[in-house]
A and B are shown apart, each in its own frame.
Chain A
């Protein structure tokens, strides 16, 4: 068509529009030209649509399954037994999944460690599954690579190394999985110079080395705190972060309960230089310098040896200033004999041998200290690690495969190490995130999150458990054992590897003669199986008393010097969970500080240095490395000690600067959370040392206020005449004293006040929910805080908001100190909505957003709340939490962790503990469906469910046979601020002390 003018087009749309249409648009063809009517129609529609769309949130369609998976009923949870991968303790878990995604981690009730409980770290680890910073595919030099290509290249390099006879090293943390150990061994067997090196970032190697010396076997015993009447702990934070905290805490708590009918309680002595969580629970606490610990232990050993008539070569032992206290401890320990237990967290082999001597002399081996079924939870060897570092320094290593550890972060002298690692021809990391070490690796072959993977574990000899996936792997990750098997030339799915290993090595140890498939299925369902002890581990070794080497005089620094003590925190451990916001926001059980590590100083030392909480101090070790971090004044710490938590300062944690709400006065910290204190770790010949380094501390002249959820305030504030009866205590003697001798008010039936202004306008029939919290059992471990956060979708608000006292935790643990620094006593008090019968919050809400249910619950209707905050002002317990902002929920992946049974609250509304009303309803409906009465204990609130100490009991106060009714009648029961006539539904059971401290005679002050 020569007449047609050339057509120019501006866009693809224009080009593809039929010519006549576009022309008619250009020319104002009447067919397309807007008329007045059509304009009004369009305008009307537009405004209508705008108005309509602003009226309500867009609907999101729920699409049913095309093929519904077996056993899955939408809206009903499924539970999978698995094994925790959050630390090497490997407790059993029961993971709740809803609609195909895991949303809550609980302890496996069938597992002897957990018994249904899970620690804070284990529960929080579910957040890591949905972390958008997890590696989603393998990388080569930071670039995405296909698994097949990565495998091909790695195999080629490994082959070259094999031909050249170069060293191939697999570096891991302690491997508790028998299959993994077998797979590693199998992989390395293909190399002439292949070796598996394992180390623990928080090492307990000294215990193993000491047993090698005294018992002739490099073993870590299993400690049975549930068998111990007298516990003497030298710096072992066994309730906090030491080896197997959940197992210890459950065992410990089982001996700490004291009631009128059974007025006994184990006696726990803690000899330590800083105030640990464990020390905060001790009946007797000696505040000693780090260098004195061994000396005190030797004195104790000498006194025990004297009583036992055993020989103990302690000639030249200098006298100890704690002699009287040690004498009393020795007496108790000797009286307990086999029911005694001495543990030490020291990395000094000498001290460990002395402890072994004491345990041996009192006969604790075989009762409280178990070598026949030893623990495999810390088997790393610091000697092997030192050898590997030497090999790396000499450039001898040809291939280094790093799994489950982050040596560049958690070992000292990281610069040298990373330089040495860079010289290795092939470095492969299987890290879940691009951490400090993985960033040096040639290939990163990311492992699954443990909730996506098949695995197994044998944390202690004879206790095997299986880990099964609770969700299909979300990303292109691959299990470490599959990866290694592939490189060994035998690619197999992890499940097959585990089944094969179990058929060969685990099933034969099982008793009962079940066929393998039955054994496997039962173990998979139950999560755990008890089998015979692992062959070759844990014979009954003989004791060599001569190997116990006494510490004859206290070591230590110069009179004015300060000694550094590095420790690991209950939430952060060695830093492997540095990307977990729940754990960062969980207050430290003792200091109540979130989102940071800090240099703790005793009040006396802080005064001497002229620093206060939040002042930045410069800590210099031996004049070399210096770090600046905020100071924290810690009562009960030894005056010569600076204690700093490990595990902080992970690369990439500056992401949490953006976790809080953005507004113009927000002051987020856009740098990593805390500083890495691993630079100060030192090494002796066979154990890495975390304490004992001489440091100087100077003020840096700046401030960095810590985000603390509780500051130092006294229960006997200035100007008041009496101590606030918020924490109440009895002694064992008072507990058994005849009722007449008990204080009269304890017998006073609370709840009936003369001239009560409250009308009976909410009669309670049917259930009446109540709770009992045993202050005597509670160790303050904070597992309940994370349980509550996970169950109730409690938002994380970030450091800046916590600093503004706007943390959102529905459940907090109040910590109160009493006594002097030398005789410090600590009380932990979980504080949550008390569901008062006469709730002050309910009367003042103008819109009836908080009301009383027929079952005694104090309910909060988020939809109705207009946010006057009057209820929070009027709550004497200060447990109400306000949504100051719309807390960011942009991370769609992270949002998958939400519990669909609990609404996510919007900005401007009040929220608080609901007694897990969703669990109450679920169980009531289930009971109704089954046509059965609701059994006591069927409903467990999230906090109760997870409490390792089983301090929390929830139940029906109208049920005369319920546990909570029985506990409410206990002589120990009291209600906080009962005198206000709020009539709380939560009863606390008084702390039971062995005796009143001497200082308490005059009614000592209790400081918070």
Chain B
């Protein structure tokens, strides 16, 4: 049991916490007045969100022409951002579902925030397929609903239809999963200050949680089922997103490697984003004891793994292009590395393959500033990966007569900034109003000497992940 709780004989939660400390520490953000930093961050995020909203309103009222697209490059910033955000979401699902099933107990400190990140990222992602349409007000035509247009159905061959299903399923499952995981903590908040408005709201949201064994039992079964449902989504959502490209005939898109390549890339970028957010949250919300260098170390290891997978995919693409003997395929990759967007390609290679190799060094993994910088660079690199795949492939296709170039307009850039604004606005609000760490779960991984009885309950499967004790104030 000790192996499950302790990585390298260092406790998962530092500072010799007892359960009461956990509750107090995590919920302190809800009790104290927000710092100037938080207000500043919120102001910045909401400004970005406001700008983005203006850009979208302008674009929808004027036309897609306000983007830099043309007859040859039909997708660029829109779908790049879509895939970028969807990818970021994947780490949350991975942490909450797969790592849960794999009994990676270090996840308890980060899973709540990672799941929230997933939710917000999917919101940002879902925006793009909507607004990238020429006539977004007709978006519901993408749904197979009964209608009187001669029973006009959707095209089930089109990956875009599956995208629609995948994203909506993903959002639903992620939201439910996040919410179910929140219930014990909501009850904790409820019970701390009975009679207050907050208590009433949280009481309503906690769905009558009693903390009885029966409740815990039901809860854990549901959580396990949702984890099991969420696990295939980690693979399926990005697989379907990748088929948007893989089923196309565009050289550089039409490759069977895309599903695993995209999933690996998604987890890679998501991990980087979790690192970014956690490092900030840890510092600003004084959660150093809960998000320890151990957690960072574990995530860095996952980053090395996924970086390697992504690098392998890059190499494989080039090899297959060479091996295919298809002049179009070969040129597509020549163009990536040496064409007009070569600068983007090399940013991508540097950020995604070369720089993460620094994580092989313990010193780098333990230097949180360096980890933070690298996590940001990976996010940049992964954005460029999608941009290069989409734009560099489209702009130099089969007929040289139709080749073209692409440059984003102000509207596109502002729209992207707007989704960053949306993401961080939601995340900052989340930090203020919801327990940012899964209190109940963390209580289960406290040091055996100081923790609750759960620590003694070895080899009992998932039940030790949470502490079936009544929350204390």
Enumerate chain A interface residues (CB-CB to B < 8 A): 661, 663-665, 710-711, 713-715, 717-722, 724, 726, 801, 804-807, 812, 814-816, 829, 831, 840, 843-848, 864-870, 872-874, 876-878, 880-886, 907-910, 976-977, 980, 982, 1008
Residue interface mask B403-429, A partner, CB < 8 A = 1: 111000111000000000000000000
Min CB gap B472→A, angstroms: 52
CB closest chain-B residue, reference A711:
B403
- Contact residues in A for B400 (Cβ distance below 8 Å): 713-715, 717, 724, 726, 816, 1008
- Contact residues in A for B403 (Cβ distance below 8 Å): 711, 713
Interface centre among B74, B247, B399 (most CB of A within 10 A): B399
- Contact residues in A for B328 (Cβ distance below 8 Å): 724
Q: Which of B27-35, B63-71, B371-379 contacts A (4 or more CB under 8 A)?
A: B63-71
- Contact residues in A for B136 (Cβ distance below 8 Å): 866
B458 within 8 A of A: no
Min CB gap B200→A, angstroms: 37
- Contact residues in B for A814 (Cβ distance below 8 Å): 399, 401-402
Is B327 a contact of A843 with CB atoms below 8 Å? no
B449 within 8 A of A: no
Residue interface mask B147-182, A partner, CB < 8 A = 1: 000001111011111001000000000000000000
Q: For the complex, what is the distance from the CA of A719 to the CA of B74, rounded to whole Å?
A: 25
Known A719-B334, A806-B70; contact A847-B62, beta-carbon cutoff 8 A: no
B71 partner, pick from A726, A843, A882, beta carbons under 8 A: A882
Q: For the complex, what is the distance from the CA of A848 to the CA of B157, rounded to whole Å?
A: 10
- Contact residues in A for B319 (Cβ distance below 8 Å): none
- Contact residues in B for A864 (Cβ distance below 8 Å): 141, 152
Instruction: Please list 15 pairs of residues, one from A and one from B, whose beta carbons are closer than 8 Å in the complex, sorted by A's number.
Output: A665-B411, A710-B401, A718-B334, A721-B327, A726-B398, A805-B405, A814-B401, A843-B157, A866-B135, A872-B74, A877-B399, A885-B65, A908-B135, A909-B135, A976-B399
Enumerate chain B interface residues (CB-CB to A < 8 A): 58, 62-66, 68-72, 74-75, 129, 132-136, 138-139, 141-142, 152-155, 157-161, 164, 244, 247-250, 325, 327-328, 330-331, 334-335, 338, 394, 396-405, 409-411
Is A870 a contact of B74 with CB atoms below 8 Å? yes
Q: For the complex, what is the distance from the CA of A795 to the CA of B396, rounded to whole Å?
A: 26
A885 partner, pick from B62, B75, B141, B330, beta carbons under 8 A: B62
Q: For the complex, what is the distance from the CA of A885 to the CA of B75, rounded to whole Å?
A: 16
Known A710-B401, A724-B398, A877-B399; contact A866-B338, beta-carbon cutoff 8 A: no
Is B63 a contact of A661 with CB atoms below 8 Å? yes
- Contact residues in B for A663 (Cβ distance below 8 Å): 62-63, 65-66
Known A665-B409, A840-B249, A866-B142; contact A720-B160, beta-carbon cutoff 8 A: no
A867 partner, pick from B133, B335, B411, beta carbons under 8 A: B133
Min CB gap A839→B, angstroms: 10
CB closest chain-B residue, reference A870:
B160
- Contact residues in A for B330 (Cβ distance below 8 Å): 719-721
CB closest chain-A residue, reference B139:
A866
Is B248 a contact of A831 with CB atoms below 8 Å? no
CB closest chain-B residue, reference A804:
B70
A874 partner, pick from B71, B250, B409, B411, beta carbons under 8 A: B250
Known A846-B154, A908-B63; contact A980-B249, beta-carbon cutoff 8 A: yes
Min CB gap B47→A, angstroms: 20
Q: For the complex, what is the distance from the CA of A726 to the CA of B328, rounded to whole Å?
A: 12
Is A880 a contact of B71 with CB atoms below 8 Å? yes
Q: For the complex, what is the distance from the CA of A976 to the CA of B397, rounded to whole Å?
A: 14
CB closest chain-B residue, reference A661:
B65
Is A846 a contact of B155 with CB atoms below 8 Å? yes
Min CB gap A1006→B, angstroms: 9
Min CB gap A306→B, angstroms: 46
Min CB gap A400→B, angstroms: 48
- Contact residues in A for B159 (Cβ distance below 8 Å): 844
Is B397 a contact of A876 with CB atoms below 8 Å? yes
- Contact residues in B for A876 (Cβ distance below 8 Å): 249, 397-399
Q: For the complex, what is the distance from the CA of A801 to the CA of B64, rounded to whole Å?
A: 13
Is A848 a contact of B398 with CB atoms below 8 Å? no
- Contact residues in B for A721 (Cβ distance below 8 Å): 325, 327, 330
Q: For the complex, what is the distance from the CA of A589 to the CA of B4, rounded to whole Å?
A: 74
Known A845-B158, A977-B398; contact A805-B134, beta-carbon cutoff 8 A: no
B154 partner, pick from A720, A848, A982, beta carbons under 8 A: A848
Is A848 a contact of B160 with CB atoms below 8 Å? no
- Contact residues in A for B129 (Cβ distance below 8 Å): 868
* Other A-B pairs, 6, CB within 8 Å; known A664-B66, A665-B411, A884-B69: A719-B334, A721-B325, A869-B74, A870-B244, A886-B63, A977-B398
Known A878-B399, A1008-B400; contact A873-B250, beta-carbon cutoff 8 A: yes
Interface centre among B157, B249, B404 (most CB of A within 10 A): B249
Min CB gap B143→A, angstroms: 10
Known A805-B72, A806-B71, A869-B69; contact A848-B135, beta-carbon cutoff 8 A: no
Min CB gap B124→A, angstroms: 19
- Contact residues in A for B396 (Cβ distance below 8 Å): 717
Is B134 a contact of A844 with CB atoms below 8 Å? no
Known A661-B65, A715-B400, A1008-B400; contact A882-B74, beta-carbon cutoff 8 A: yes
Min CB gap B58→A, angstroms: 8
Is B158 a contact of A909 with CB atoms below 8 Å? no
Q: For the complex, what is the distance from the CA of A955 to the CA of B82, rounded to whole Å?
A: 44
Known A844-B248, A878-B399; contact A720-B63, beta-carbon cutoff 8 A: no
Known A846-B142, A877-B399, A878-B397; contact A908-B133, beta-carbon cutoff 8 A: yes
Is B247 a contact of A843 with CB atoms below 8 Å? yes
- Contact residues in A for B334 (Cβ distance below 8 Å): 717-720
Is A869 a contact of B249 with CB atoms below 8 Å? no
CB closest chain-A residue, reference B160:
A846
Is A719 a contact of B338 with CB atoms below 8 Å? yes
Is B135 a contact of A815 with CB atoms below 8 Å? no
- Contact residues in B for A883 (Cβ distance below 8 Å): 63, 134
Is B152 a contact of A848 with CB atoms below 8 Å? yes
- Contact residues in A for B399 (Cβ distance below 8 Å): 726, 814, 831, 876-878, 976-977
- Contact residues in A for B138 (Cβ distance below 8 Å): 866
Q: 8 nearest interchain CB pairs? A: A867-B134, A908-B134, A884-B65, A719-B334, A878-B402, A869-B74, A805-B70, A814-B401
Interface centre among A661, A715, A864, A878 (most CB of B within 10 A): A878
Interface centre among A710, A721, A845, A873 (most CB of B within 10 A): A873
- Contact residues in B for A881 (Cβ distance below 8 Å): 71
Is A665 a contact of B135 with CB atoms below 8 Å? no
Known A665-B409, A908-B64; contact A874-B141, beta-carbon cutoff 8 A: no
Q: For the complex, what is the distance from the CA of A801 to the CA of B401, rounded to whole Å?
A: 18
- Contact residues in A for B71 (Cβ distance below 8 Å): 805-807, 872, 878, 880-882
Q: For the complex, what is the distance from the CA of A887 to the CA of B405, rounded to whole Å?
A: 23
Is B152 a contact of A878 with CB atoms below 8 Å? no
Min CB gap A66→B, angstroms: 38
Min CB gap B201→A, angstroms: 35
Q: For the complex, what is the distance from the CA of A329 to the CA of B404, rounded to whole Å?
A: 41
Min CB gap B214→A, angstroms: 46
Is B75 a contact of A846 with CB atoms below 8 Å? no
Q: For the complex, what is the distance from the CA of A801 to the CA of B154, rounded to whole Å?
A: 33
Q: For the complex, what is the distance from the CA of A1006 to the CA of B445, rounded to whole Å?
A: 69
Q: For the complex, what is the distance from the CA of A881 to the CA of B394, rounded to whole Å?
A: 15
Min CB gap A8→B, angstroms: 46
- Contact residues in A for B331 (Cβ distance below 8 Å): 717, 719-720
- Contact residues in A for B405 (Cβ distance below 8 Å): 805
- Contact residues in A for B410 (Cβ distance below 8 Å): 665
- Contact residues in B for A848 (Cβ distance below 8 Å): 152-155
- Contact residues in B for A847 (Cβ distance below 8 Å): 141-142, 154-155
Known A876-B397, A908-B135; contact A844-B65, beta-carbon cutoff 8 A: no
Min CB gap B241→A, angstroms: 13
Interface centre among A710, A876, A1008 (most CB of B within 10 A): A876
B249 partner, pick from A665, A713, A874, beta carbons under 8 A: A874
Q: For the complex, what is the distance from the CA of A880 to the CA of B64, rounded to whole Å?
A: 16
B158 partner, pick from A713, A806, A846, beta carbons under 8 A: A846
